[in-house]
Amino acid sequence: MSLRRLDTTALIYLALAGVVAIGGIAVAIDGGNLFSTANLVDMFTRTSLTGFLALGMTLVILCRSLDLSVGYTAALASMVAATTMDGDPNRIVLGALAALLVAGLVGAANGAIVSFLGVNPFIATLGVGLIIKGYLDTEYKGPAGLVPTAFQQFGYSRIAFVPVSTLVMLALAAAGIWFLRSTRTGHHMYAVGGNIDVARMSGVRTKSTLMTAHILCGMFAGVAGLLLAARFGTGSATEAYSNLYELDAIAAVVLGGTLLLGGRGGIAGTVAGVLILAVLDTVFNVMQINPFAKDVLRGAIIITAVAIYARRQLSRTARRPRFAAAGTAADTGRP
Amino acid sequence: TTDEIPEAETTEEATASTEEEWFVQADYEEQLAQRDIEPEGDPTTPWLQAIEPEWVDTSEYAVDGGDHTVCFSNASVSNPWRVTGWITMQQQVEVLQEAGEIGEFLHSDAADDDEKQISDIQAFIDSGECDALLISPSTTATLTPAVEAACESGIPVVVFDRGVNTDCAVTFIHPIGGYAFGADAAEFLVDNLEPGSTVLALRILPGVDVLEHRWAAAQEIFADSELEILGNEFTGGDAAEIKNIVTQYLQRGEVDGIWMDAGDGAVAAIEAFEDAGQPYPVMTGEDELSFMRKWKETGMTALAPVYSNFQWRTPVLAATMILNGEQVPKEWVLPQEPITEAELDDYLERNEDMPSLHYAKFGGEDLPGFPDAWRDR
Amino acid sequence: MGRIRTAAAALAGGGTGTVFALLAAIFIAVAFTNPGFFEGPSLMAFLKQAAPLVILAAGQYFVIVSGNFDLSVGALVGAQVVIAARLIDGEESRTLPVMGVMLLFGLAVGLVNGLVTTALKVQSFITTLGMMLVLTGAIRLWTGGAPTGSLSEAFRGPGRRGIDDVPLIGQIPWAVLIMIGVGAAAIWLMRTRFGRVLVASGDNELAAELSGGRVDTVRTVAFVLSGLSATVAGVLIGGYAGVSAQVGQGMEFTVITAVVLGGVVLGGGRGAVVAAMAGALTIEALFALFNQMALPSTIRPAAQGLIIIAAVAYAAKRRTRRPVAATATTNANPS
Amino acid sequence: MSQAPVLAMRGIDKSFLGVPVLRSVDLVIEPGEVHAVVGENGAGKSTLMKILAGVHTADAGTIELGGRAVSFTHPLQAQHAGVATVFQEFNLLPELSVAENIHLGREPRRRGLIDRRAMAERTAALLSDLGVDDLAPAAKAKTLSVPRQQIVEIAKAMSQGADLICMDEPTAALADAEVELLYRLVERLRDKGVSVLYVSHRLREIFDLCDRITVLKDGERVTTVDTADITPDELVTAMVGRRIEAVFPEPLPGTETGEVRLAVTGGGNAQIDGIDLEVRAGEIVGLAGLQGSGRTEIAEAVFGIEPFTRGTVAVDGETRRITGPRKAIAAGIALVTEDRKAQGLALNQSVGANARMVLDANARVHSRARLARISGILSSLDLVSRGEDQEVQYLSGGNQQKVVVAKWLAAEPGVIVLDEPTRGIDVGAKHKLYAVIRSLAAEGLAVLLITSELIEVIGLADRIVVLHDGRIAGELPGGATEQQVMAYATGRSPA
Ligand SMILES: Nc1ncnc2c1ncn2[C@@H]1O[C@H](COP(=O)(O)OP(=O)(O)OP(=O)(O)O)[C@@H](O)[C@H]1O
Ligand SMILES: Nc1ncnc2c1ncn2[C@@H]1O[C@H](COP(=O)(O)OP(=O)(O)OP(=O)(O)O)[C@@H](O)[C@H]1O
Ligand SMILES: [Mg+2]
Ligand SMILES: [Mg+2]
């Protein structure tokens, strides 16, 4: 299967290359240079936030679950971090840990509702998101807390033209790839996503696998929250609302070739998906594309890309289904 | 009915904390005072007027020759007020480009995403193309570090509309502000309603300072009035939501006054009264045309508080002034006067062929693009 | 006779029962906080407000029960209102023609969603997410960012007016009649052969296909129906409240929540359209209740989230897991 | 004094949705014993096995393994306790490789991390040890044919070094040839002193393999006997509760073969080639062949799922281009598919809804009259259900199969293709189905019967067409001997 996943991934990096090439040409015709240091920096900067969210999202989606609460979780985490640090450099570690812990707990809540209460992940995480929103709006009347300048570096400093946050994101991505490939829990995520009943009957601890995925997803959102805090210098709640971060993340994951139905895909692809979105953002900006046109283009491109992948998977499994009983568990499943 | 009193109380409690969070006595008093100060400069060009300006020298930023590249990081154009302003700004830019003051005008739109706007600002700085950088921050607190970074880069920075928690910008342009807006509206209700009358407050969303200030000021004034505040509801500015909420309040009892922290969907609120067969309330909206036209048409008692939309002209002008080394006010406080019954006809006439969701005090009448640029958006 | 039995069976089964119980509970609570609520006029006013969501729920039901998702309805509702305002521009005479145009537009959007999902095999989550982006962008592009023009009185009629001076009810809003009409039509449609094949397709594509069912066709039709329901909802909302830049925002999530609250299983093949519409009514009732209780606005999302999760969890527990054997459905949900 | 039994289940109760499925069932298995559990569809065999495997938990009763009381809440515990299971439903993950499937949940680890090399090596070793040398450990499960998948499942169970291996209808998907391999494996286990719990509807296997037999009926244990002390007929009587006379009913009076209804000439596509086939009205033609010989491919080609790319198909003398199921149905062809759950039924829908699915889906065959006849058809098949609005997922295998047949009969086809119609259904139901097939012929339908159980073809078919490697190897008259059939099936020609 590694081989199979590899060539799918390869295709996605091809797509990325294509986007970069076309973007580069377009910008060049427009009289600019997409590969100027400034633009490269910009591109990478735009990867980190969506990146963190998409990494976590990949795990839950692989398990045939979903997390629509990541935006709110990130906002909550940024609040916790900022208010805990409260401008005191000595409390940075404490604040960061607190944020990750809270985010992890939110993930755990999601996981528990999905796997133990058997609520469809779409609804479960949508609900949890609303609960967090309610809490934040009631508890904080706006941005709160203060992030010490030392920690703001996480959001602003860069090595050569690669921002630190992006490096952290890539490091976590590498860790994620390793986790999925080399640990049992990671490996079992594919099984759980493939068919939860078969996985269970084969002795896989499906519930705890699902929990792990959700907890990790929450913690990734926590990291995203830390990034927000670092870049804002404070914790912000309103941030998450207007911009549907969760949808960005899901789009990145699917662009990365991971099946929304679970069981197939991986983090390497997701990184490419994130990059594609980032490149588009930069290109649009450099070319001064009208803000509304951006949405149209983004939407169209996402659909087209996924359609191309689908074509391929189609031709692959064109044979009659031999997999009667190893189908999908519609109850635990999600469209 | 009796069960309303406790309700009213609970909501007051619930919002009481807001007060501490958002209410700064000094700023409040300053803004209320500024309303009565005669601004310096020519009243026919309010966007160049300034209240108690403290002029600062900008010679250090002077660049010879014209055709300067001006960059603009916009928070978003996600609501009609910003759309109107954005058009005005572009029209102003064209004039300055004609005049050879501005060469290229680069802009980026963050679609209300603070994170994106930070990246946008960074991108402008890194590109090294900008002679001046205009910023309309999406959120005060969160954009502060980015703006500071921009200042450090050495190019002149002009901040307008919402502020940031730093005065590193060469100039910060804004109308008097949220407290004044909220106070104008609240005072109007207090003056035009009998003691004991009931008022419903309709708000867009929580946590945005410009809006929170309006509500904070209103509460301050309602607090020592005889008016009963039925509640304050978040509507997201969605007309349907507004109409639902108002309708439901009307089912439970009389509503004599409506206070809004922004004009979006004001008409829907009025229609709720019509459909419920209730007398029109005393109402404050904004200088958005559909509201003003409805106001005219119904002849209701109303006020259009103004958050001066013409401020969108000022930043580009300020940028050229700075790049020419001319003095600009450190904090450029623009006039902000509500539109009263008396001025209603005048403003409706001036904006006769403007579309609804256009803002009366957009201040672009003298620009060459007028009226097509605004009418045909 | 059989009708009664199936209805009874439906009520007994899973979430369907739950939603009516919940609706009753909420109404009782409302009655306590404000007895006046059930007097004719205020009840009519409530139903008038609820009508658009109920109609959307019916449309969304078709899509969900056939194993898909439609995230584009919120954007479509908004687009329709804006289109109406811009094209009518206050001219009474244009009302009907423009309504015609809107119907065609809704139909076209649904058709595109359907074809991209069925023919290009793009998971509907992505198709409709992309469509959502495209619609919001395109409409704003077209109107330069904020709605222009204005609606005619005639257009406002269906959403705003009704049959006046009805004894003790006061006014019967057209919206309520339209809602009832649409509801009846939906129920009838689900009893036709189309309806049966639709559910079968959501339950087991392959079996439906091999029985000669036109799976792709019915699924596409489902999307079209959703698009049309969004159009009707748009007419009602536009009529009810007029134009504003924010119309329809976030409605897609509310309506999907409503449908799931109605015991319709994401992934297809289960649930009744009546229940889906009841779910929408329940959500509206919930909002009304919050308002009656003068629950601080900021806490409401939290309460909403909690109640929804609880209800869906309860339903999930009542619908005992299907026999493991029964998970032998190949990809019952192509999302 | 013999050592403690490997397994002792006592007083096991289980009910689903308040419906009792098992009532105080006892089951004792001695070391090295091969123990059969038999019973009609829905008797509770799989449920009993799933309780033992930790998939379901019993409502009451005790389970002892090697004398130690155990109670499982998760399959993992059962595995650790030394119970391995081959479930009735396919239990592999298509996207995973053979090696990964076999080791799922028990991946070998080095320093806490999955050791893929070890995994591959162990798999290779295991497979060759089982005498299966043509299975690549790295191959994705989904690329394997049904029989190969079944072999992987069995290997998976064997790899766990369990002292008790439960097999729930392991041969249901195997043709007689592959069954031989299974026989060898079971013998090996018995020699190693491993006990086997064996569930099957195929009496012959029971008598070939098993030492003792426990009979379940309606969730209760009827009896446990030594295989030596019982004859097949007695066993059937015990299972079904009534005597079943001659296994294969005679053709019904008045059945005469009429004109040709289905004619395939020179048919071929990617999997099959040179297919010349005629089925006449009132005739039952059997398709025999080894697993993977292309029988289902023929069915699918005739029905337009994977259409013929060469040759012609004529129905009732009229040449038809059958490019999809709808065309086939319009032409009066019906296909009872190999896999009822994946291809035949909408499991969440009611019996009624499933039975009318074909009529609902095809305007061409839809009619009030036919709708009205459905209830009649269902009862004529002796469907056992809690009414027409019961969801089919809660029916046992045999009854589910009846629903599938009913939905096709509702369309009143002229040609009916039955692919493995008796797979996994019990003697009683099978017998019933044989009768149904006969009556179909009597009504003048052309019947094309595909089955992996040779005796069925021989007992039912008027003519037997034998396939080998996707081509027709030969044709035999009904009642031919198994040797003759196997000769063609294995590519030799009978002397
Ligand atoms: N998870 C479940 N939920 C509800 N009912 C079930 C479940 N599993 C099995 N049943 C019912 O319990 C009864 C026994 O099922 P079981 O699968 O044990 O029968 P079986 O003896 O294995 O039949 P077959 O020979 O067809 O496999 C059947 O009526 C079946 O419908
Ligand atoms: N999904 C698949 N992937 C790869 N090969 C397949 C697949 N399905 C079938 N085949 C191959 O096609 C040929 C026919 O397979 P199939 O098992 O359908 O034959 P059959 O005679 O119908 O056997 P049975 O009817 O018992 O399943 C075999 O060589 C099989 O391995
Ligand atoms: Mg069984
Ligand atoms: Mg076959």
Q: Show Cβ contacts of residue A94 under 8 Å, excluding neighbours closer than 6 positions.
A: A84, A85
Task: State the CB neighbour count (10 A cutoff) for residue B267.
Answer: 25
- Rounded to the nearest integer, the mean pLDDT of chain D is 89
Query: What 3-state class would DSSP assign to D285?
Result: strand
Q: How far is residue D158 CA from its own chain's centroid? A: 21
Q: What distances in angstroms separate CA D300 from CA D272, D306, D418, D451, one per listed residue?
A: 11, 6, 11, 15
Helices C273-292 & C40-65 angle (0-180, nearest 10): 140
The pLDDT assigned to B350 comes to: 92
Encoding tokens for residue A120?
């469809």
Query: What 3-state class would DSSP assign to A52?
Result: helix
User: Chain C: nearest CA to A159, how far in angstroms?
Assistant: 35
Encoding tokens for residue B348?
């409706």
End-to-end CA distance of chain B: 48
The number of residues making up chain D comes to 495
Inform me whether the C-beta atom of residue D92 falls under 8 Å from chain A C-beta atoms: yes
When pLDDT is cut at 50, 70 and 90, the band that residue C332 belongs to is: very low
Same domain as D290, residue D219: no
When pLDDT is cut at 50, 70 and 90, the band that residue D246 belongs to is: low
d(CA D284, CA D471): 20
Residue C8 in this model has a pLDDT that exceeds 80: no
Residue A325 in this model has a pLDDT that exceeds 70: no
Q: Which of D291, D469, D472, D490 to mutate to test the pocket of ligand 2 (most atoms within 8 A of CB)?
A: D291
Name all chains with 3 or more CB-CB pairs below 8 Å to chain C: A, B, D
CB contact under 8 A, A205 and D76: yes
- Rounded to the nearest integer, the mean pLDDT of chain A is 87
Element (H, E) at D368: helix D368-380
Fold that domain C10-318 belongs to in CATH: ABC transporter involved in vitamin B12 uptake, BtuC (1.10.3470)
Q: Show Cβ contacts of residue B365 under 8 Å, excluding neighbours closer than 6 positions.
A: B350
D145 ligand 2 Cβ < 6 A = yes
Average pLDDT over residues D387-415: 90
When pLDDT is cut at 50, 70 and 90, the band that residue A5 belongs to is: very low
Say if A and B touch: at least 3 Cβ pairs within 8 Å: yes
Name all chains with 3 or more CB-CB pairs below 8 Å to chain D: A, C
When pLDDT is cut at 50, 70 and 90, the band that residue C12 belongs to is: very low
Which chain residues have CB less than 5 Å from ligand 3, an ion?
D 46, 88
- Rounded to the nearest integer, the mean pLDDT of chain C is 88
User: Which A residues in the span 10-39 are in contact with B, Cβ-Cβ below 8 Å?
Assistant: 36-39
Number of domains into which chain D is organized: 2
Nearest by CB to B355, which of C42, C148, C292? C148
Nearest by CB to D76, which of A203, A320, A325? A203
Nearest by CB to D93, which of A191, A320, A321? A191
DSSP-derived secondary structure for C294-334 = T--GGGHHHHHHHHHHHHHHHHHHHSPPPPGGGG--TTS--
Inform me whether the C-beta atom of residue C249 falls under 8 Å from chain B C-beta atoms: yes
- ipTM exceeds 0.95, yes or no: no
Same domain as D35, residue D102: yes
Of residues D382 and A115, more confidence is placed in A115
Which ligand has the nearest atom to the CA of D134? 2
Looking at the domain covering A34-317, what would its CATH class be? mainly alpha
Inform me whether the C-beta atom of residue C143 falls under 8 Å from chain B C-beta atoms: yes
Residue C254 in this model has a pLDDT that exceeds 50: yes
| Residues spanned by the domain of D72 | 7-240
Q: Show Cβ contacts of residue B102 under 8 Å, excluding neighbours closer than 6 positions.
A: B66, B67, B68, B69, B70, B93, B96, B316, B319, B320
Protein residue whose Cα sits closest to atom 18 of ligand 2: D296
d(CA B327, CA D20): 91
Backbone φ, ψ for residue C162 (5° rounding): -175, -165
Query: What 3-state class would DSSP assign to A203?
Result: coil
CB contact under 8 A, A39 and B123: yes
d(CA C187, CA C183): 6
The order of strands in the sheet holding D463-468 is D333-336, D415-419, D446-450, D284-289, D463-468, D471-477
- Going from the Cα of D147 to the center of ligand 4, the distance in angstroms, rounded, reads 10
In percent, how much of chain B has pLDDT > 70? 94
Residue A275 in this model has a pLDDT that exceeds 90: yes
Residue A288 with chain B: CB contacts under 8 Å: 106-107
Encoding tokens for residue A306?
């996924």
- Strand-pair partners of D9: D27, D63
Q: Which of A157-166, B343-352, D249-258 has the lowest mean pLDDT?
A: D249-258
Say if B and D touch: at least 3 Cβ pairs within 8 Å: no
Burial of B28 (0-12, 13-18, 19+ CB in 10 A): buried
Same domain as D166, residue D294: no
The pLDDT assigned to A115 comes to: 94
Q: Which residue in D293, D265, D261 sits closest to D419, CA to CA? A: D293
Nearest by CB to C146, which of B244, B267, B357? B357
d(CA D249, CA A279): 72
The pLDDT assigned to B327 comes to: 95
Residue B158 in this model has a pLDDT that exceeds 90: yes
Residue A102 in this model has a pLDDT that exceeds 80: yes
What CATH number is given to the structural domain containing D26?
Answer: 3.40.50.300
d(CA B279, CA B260): 18
- Going from the Cα of D134 to the center of ligand 3, the distance in angstroms, rounded, reads 29
Inform me whether the C-beta atom of residue A207 falls under 8 Å from chain C C-beta atoms: no
Q: Rounded to a whole number, what is the largest CA-CA distance in chain A?
A: 63
Q: Helix H segments across chain C?
A: 2-12, 14-33, 40-65, 73-88, 95-118, 124-143, 153-160, 174-191, 193-203, 205-210, 215-241, 251-261, 273-292, 300-318
Residue C269 with chain A: CB contacts under 8 Å: 330
Amino acid at C12: A
Q: Helix H segments across chain B?
A: 4-22, 25-34, 80-98, 114-127, 140-152, 178-192, 209-223, 239-252, 266-275, 289-298, 314-323, 341-350, 372-375
Disruptive mutation site among B142, B208, B214, B233 for chain A (greatest number of A CBs within 10 Å): B142
Most confident among C177-191, D9-23, D426-440 (mean pLDDT): C177-191
d(CA B374, CA B355): 8
pLDDT single digits (tens) C66-97: 999 999 999 999 999 999 999 999 899 999 99
* Ligand 1 atom nearest residue D17's Cα: 4
The pLDDT assigned to D495 comes to: 53
- Provide the pairing of β-strand D260-268 with D83-86: unpaired
What are the E-state strand segments in chain A? 158-159, 162-163
User: Which A residues in the span 125-144 are in contact with C, Cβ-Cβ below 8 Å?
Assistant: 126-131, 133-135, 137-138
- Going from the Cα of A92 to the center of ligand 4, the distance in angstroms, rounded, reads 65
Residue B122 with chain A: CB contacts under 8 Å: 41-42, 45
Residue C335 in this model has a pLDDT that exceeds 90: no
The pLDDT assigned to D175 comes to: 67
Q: Which of D12, D15, D46 to mutate to test the pocket of ligand 1 (most atoms within 8 A of CB)?
A: D46
d(CA A152, CA D6): 65
- Going from the Cα of D339 to the center of ligand 2, the distance in angstroms, rounded, reads 13
User: Chain C: nearest CA to B245, how far in angstroms?
Assistant: 8
Break chain C into its structural domains and give their ranges: 10-318
Q: What distances in angstroms separate CA D475 from CA A226, D463, D467, one per listed residue?
A: 75, 7, 9
d(CA B153, CA B146): 11
CB contact under 8 A, A142 and B109: no
- Going from the Cα of D89 to the center of ligand 3, the distance in angstroms, rounded, reads 8
Average pLDDT over residues B223-245: 91
Q: How many helices (H) and strands (E) does chain B have?
A: 13, 13
pLDDT single digits (tens) B199-213: 999 999 887 888 889
Inform me whether the C-beta atom of residue D87 falls under 8 Å from chain A C-beta atoms: yes
pLDDT single digits (tens) A45-88: 999 999 999 999 999 999 999 999 999 999 999 999 999 999 99
Q: What global pTM score does this model have?
A: 0.90
Cβ atoms of B151 and B124 within 8 Å: the answer is no
Inform me whether the C-beta atom of residue B12 falls under 8 Å from chain A C-beta atoms: no
d(CA B156, CA B158): 7
pLDDT single digits (tens) C149-195: 889 999 999 999 999 888 888 889 999 999 999 999 999 999 999 99
- What is the residue whose two structure tokens read 């909690």? C306
The pLDDT assigned to C316 comes to: 82
Amino acid at D210: C
Encoding tokens for residue B209?
């300072």
The pLDDT assigned to D463 comes to: 95
Q: Which of A242-246, B296-300, D123-127 has the lowest mean pLDDT?
A: A242-246
Q: What distances in angstroms separate CA B304 from CA A297, B54, B289, B293, B347, one per listed residue?
A: 39, 30, 10, 11, 11
CB contact under 8 A, C145 and B290: no
Residue A270 in this model has a pLDDT that exceeds 90: yes
Average pLDDT over residues B153-173: 93
Element (H, E) at D127: helix D116-129
Residue D394 in this model has a pLDDT that exceeds 60: yes
Element (H, E) at D416: strand D415-419
Q: Which residue in C182, C250, C230, C254 sits closest to C84, CA to CA? A: C230
In percent, how much of chain D has pLDDT > 90? 54
Same domain as D223, residue D328: no
- Going from the Cα of D146 to the center of ligand 2, the distance in angstroms, rounded, reads 7
User: Chain D: nearest CA to A219, how far in angstroms?
Assistant: 22
* Ligand 1 atom nearest residue D393's Cα: 31
Q: Which residue in B123, B41, B69 sits closest to B319, CA to CA? A: B69
The pLDDT assigned to D197 comes to: 95
Helices D116-129 & D146-158 angle (0-180, nearest 10): 100
Inform me whether the C-beta atom of residue B19 falls under 8 Å from chain A C-beta atoms: no
Q: Show Cβ contacts of residue B372 under 8 Å, excluding neighbours closer than 6 positions.
A: none
Nearest by CB to D17, which of C199, C206, C320? C320
Disruptive mutation site among A201, A294, A295, A297 for chain C (greatest number of C CBs within 10 Å): A295
Q: Which residue in D181, D182, D162, D159 sits closest to D170, CA to CA? A: D182
Nearest by CB to A1, which of D91, D140, D156? D140
Name all chains with 3 or more CB-CB pairs below 8 Å to chain B: A, C
Encoding tokens for residue B203?
């708000």
Amino acid at C314: Y
Same domain as D99, residue D43: yes
Residue D385 in this model has a pLDDT that exceeds 90: no
Among all residues of chain C, which has the CA nearest to that of D362?
Answer: C212
Residue A137 with chain B: CB contacts under 8 Å: 206-207
Q: Is D494 a member of any domain?
A: no
The pLDDT assigned to C320 comes to: 52
Protein residue whose Cα sits closest to atom 7 of ligand 1: C323
